[in-house]
Amino acid sequence: MTAVRVLTPITQPLDLASTLDSGQCFRWRPEADGAWTGVLGGDVVRLRAASQGLLIESAPTSPEQMVPRVMKYLRMDDDLPAIQRRLSVDPHMAQGVAAYPGLRLLRQDPWETLAAFILSSTSNIPRIRRTVELIAVSCGQAVTLDGMTRHTFPSPERLAQVGEAELRRLGCGFRAPYLEQAAQAVATGQLPLSGFRGVRYQEAAEALTALRGVGDKVADCVMLFSLDRLEAFPVDRWVQRAMQEWYGAGPLKRYDDARKWAWERFGQDAGYANQYLFWRRRQGQGAALHSQGLPLDPLAGPQSPKSAR
C-alpha cells in the first residue's frame, strides 16, 4: 500500500522522545533522523517533529482517519500547558515540567496496555519491550511501511488460543498463565475493557484487580495509559523513591495510602504528576533536586510496596 504523508499543525507541547520512551508504551523505535516508528492498530506509523507541526507517515487502512487517530493516541485534546501550570505550584513538579515540557500521557489500546503491564511484573523496560515485540512477531499480523515490516499486537482471542506453554517459550515466564487468563477474560467479554472508560475509578480498579497477576499498580497503569483515568497514580519503585527523597514520605502500609496522598496533593492531575515523578526520578535527577535546596514536603505520606513499572 502506498504510504501517506501528512503534516499536521499542532498547538500543544509535544516531545516525541520523552512521551514515547517514558515507560508508558513499549513498541516505538527511534530512527537516526529523529523519527519514531510504531504500530497503531493495524498500521505502521512513523512520527517526526517538524517546524510546522507533526509529520505523520503511514500506509493506513483508513487514510482519512490517520491524523485523528494519532492525535487521539497522543492525547492532543489535553490542555497540557494548563495542567503544567496547576502542577508547577509544587516546586518538584516545576522541575519536572522544566526538564520535560513536551512529555504527554498516551491514550493506548486497553487490551495491549493490559497485556504489556501484566508482563511488566518484576521486569524492566528493555525486557518488556523484547517480550511484547516477540509476542507480536510470533502471533500478530505482518504490516509494512516503505519496506519496513512490523507486526500488530495479537488480539485477546488469538492469545487465548496460543496457550501457556507457548507464552512461556516467548519469554513471558511466570506471567504466562496470567496473560492467558486475561486474554480469555477479554475475549469472552468477562472483562469488557473498552467499557471501563467513563465508569467510576473504583469500579474499574476492582474489575482489573480481580484478574490473577493484576495488582493495584498494573491496574493503575492500565487506567492511566489507556482508559482516560487521569487521576490514576501507579506507584512503582521509581515513584516510591521520588516520594521518599523529594517529599519526605514515610513508609506506607497500604498501596491505597499512596493514591490518597497523590489525590490530596495533585487532584485530577495525579496521573500527569506521576509520569513526571517517574521519568525524572528514573533518569537519575534526584540528587540534583536536593543540591538545589528544594524542601521536603510537609505532607509526610506513604511509600508503596516495591515494584517495577
**Per-residue pLDDT tens for 21-58?**
999 999 999 999 999 999 998 999 999 999 889 999 99
Domains and CATH numbers, the chain: 4-99 (3.30.310.260), 110-226 (1.10.340.30), 230-309 (1.10.1670.10)
Which residues in 285-299 are b (16+ Cβ under 10 Å) and which e? ebeebeeeeeeebee
- Look at the block and give the residue holding cell 485534546: 77
Average predicted confidence (pLDDT) for the chain: 90
Q: What was the pLDDT predicted at 294?
A: 45
What counts of helices (H) and strands (E) characterise the chain? 15, 7
pLDDT digits (tens, 9 = 90+) for 149-200: 999 999 999 999 999 999 999 999 999 999 999 999 999 999 999 899 889 9
Write down the pTM of the prediction. Answer: 0.90
Rounded to an integer, what distance in angstroms lies between the CA atom of residue 59 and that of residue 5?
A: 9
pLDDT digits (tens, 9 = 90+) for 7-21: 999 999 999 999 999
Phi, psi for 263 (deg, rounded to 5) = -65, -35
Q: What was the pLDDT predicted at 144?
A: 94
pLDDT digits (tens, 9 = 90+) for 227-260: 999 999 999 989 988 998 899 887 777 899 999 9
Between residues 284 and 263, the one the model is more confident about: 263
Q: What was the pLDDT predicted at 1?
A: 64
